[in-house]
Structure 1
Amino acid sequence: MSKRQHSHLDVDRIGKRPRRVPKKHLYLVLDDWHKGFSIHKIDVDALQDATTELHYGFPDPAALRLAAPVNRLHMDFAAMGSNIFITTNPCSPNTPTLVFDTETAGLTMGPRPPIQIIDTTTFTVATGGMLYALTHRHVHEQHSFEAMSWAPMDNDEPWPSPTMRWSWKSVPSPPPFAMDDVITSYALHPDGHTIFMSAHDLRYHHLPKGTFSFDTRNSKWRCHGDWALPFQGQAYFDNGLDAWVGLHKDGYICSCEVASRSSTSAVEPEWKVTKEKLFLKDPERRLDFARASLAYMGDGSFCLVEVVLRKGVEFKCAFGDRGCVLHMSTFGLKYDRRGELQTTRHHTNSYVVSKYLPTVSPQVFWM
């Protein structure tokens, strides 16, 4: 039996019969049609076996297409377990969430988002069966921290109903951020229950406000010093490097020593960046508001996606039919003999795609 086939088999508890473990895929979210969004299911094995020449679209139809209730309105996407949660109209307090189960390809209705996170979500992170969302409604307004989970329903319903449902609740301890603070980076500690996040004062972007952590077990916050994690957005823990890995400014990949959960220090953790750029390689083709997205696939493997202008297309003509190119790169990381961070198994596929919303970035999930 090949190694690839064997990786999808497991042994049941009595050890007699192997059972098939669902194979994971990349799920890519794009604003690639004029009425809304698409979620593309991508086999990473096929991706790595494909040629590196420019492709026109994807080989398979989208796993799910979503028409926006309001024309040219963005949607919010977040992932937890095998589910992708979709807020189809993040500007409306009456909009329910859609839940796309990637294991069954089923679509169902989810919980209505609380008013605190309507059009305000700064980031989401999943851990311990909970999806945490930090919000910042407007400048000069206080942050809030919300959590969604699969929880029992109230017993006073006047009609028969399920006993469990997805529901939101506010975290008991309010975030320790000032009204003008903006969260620039965040990461889940390898303990699985401590979320680290770094803040900058919106008025002085070059000065870090500090790095804080939130313990999901007791809802307590801790300040770790007036330094900032060196990432843009979310970072992921790589067991092989024993470090967080995320996107650094100007197109580089960064690894960072995991911060201690208990210490408070004025010295930031040690971090390193790759020598070569993996994104933002051509400034002339850059889309200013569309950021790259990183997903961790386990076993030291990552996927990076970025949308850029198609060669020969001017910015004013980019948004519509096939005006952009999506670069999808898979790679690993290691330290060389001198301790420098370098990529391994680097493979990039590029696809001509359509894009309709200038401020929307592609998102990629591994699930």
Structure 2
Amino acid sequence: MAQQIVAGGGAADFPTVRLVSAEGDQQAIGRTLAEAARETYGWRPIPADRRKARARRRWFERNWPQHHERMRGAAAALGLDFTADEFYVDSLFPLPAGSACSATYLPPGLTEEGRGLLGRNYDFFTTSQSELFALMTGAQPPATAEVPMASRPTLVHSRPTDGPATLVLTMDTLDGCMDGINEHGLAVVLLIADAENASPPVDEGPQVGVSSVQLPRFLLDTCRNAEEARAALLDAKQYDMGTPLHYLVADAGGDSFVWERVSGNEHITDGDGALCVTNHLLHRHPDATNLPADNAETLLTYQRYQQLAKSTDATMSADSLRAALAEIGFDADSPTDYPVRTLWRTVFDLGARTMSTRFYLDDLRQSAELSYSV
């Protein structure tokens, strides 16, 4: 396993950002990711409901064979019998409710580079989960210090012999991701879908199908373009962990859409030119000129959407996209009662198959921009 710290990591830095490089067949990559998860997050497999674990394993074998083989590799790394179904050998961490993110896709015809660009702000809390709970409920803050939820992001660069190469960025789980791109030029980012009505995470354990945090990785492993991703999502069994998410999916050819699921109903909003998304359900409010007013709980989702839509009216470069995202990012001066910051800003060049990311270090500093090719 090749693992290195690529940003942060100092005593004064909020995050420690690691890069994990994995290659070989999917089993070998699964072993690498299990070892990295154990080292970085203290991950341990949890005892399983055998009937459910068996059903999950068989579903993955039929529908997501890459993940199935990585699970097999993780079991081997832990010295477990994969087919005994005694443990869940993949990690599923729900996203706490209420984070804020912004993303937009520009097809090749709307960029100075002549290549599709996807940019996103990953806006999240700078607290531990217990501290956030105390803040939101008025409870007494915990006496013992906990690591902030988003302080250990990981870049994972996988080059399998039996599937497409992928480059993904994750907050806290190595079998899913928040941002990612594959060698075909397909990119996916996830965002909280309904900030105003987000429910707390539900700890019901792994279910059969694809979890909300695994979904981007599922698409990157199994799809070459946005149309294949639409078909895969309509066909796949999915579940969330209490916090609804939505996803911007885009490809190098200029096709894009936003995927949303509400109460079991599925919605696809196709891109027509630039496609923007923040933290309200896009299928309910597709018109940037006719949006509700923000309140204390929406974390400026409507304002950010309007501003981003206006910024992307004209042809843009990657640098002007970065500037537009910076204008709607969260910093110490943002008008919100919650400790939210833009923890990273990513720009994907889908034609070049690259991902460039700048990380928040503290309220006065950001990292140098890190650029990688898938």
TM-score (norm 1): 0.32
More helix by share: 2
More strand by share: 1
Whose RCO is larger (CA < 8 A, sep 6+)? 2
Q: Which has the larger radius of gyration?
A: 1
TM-score (norm 2): 0.31
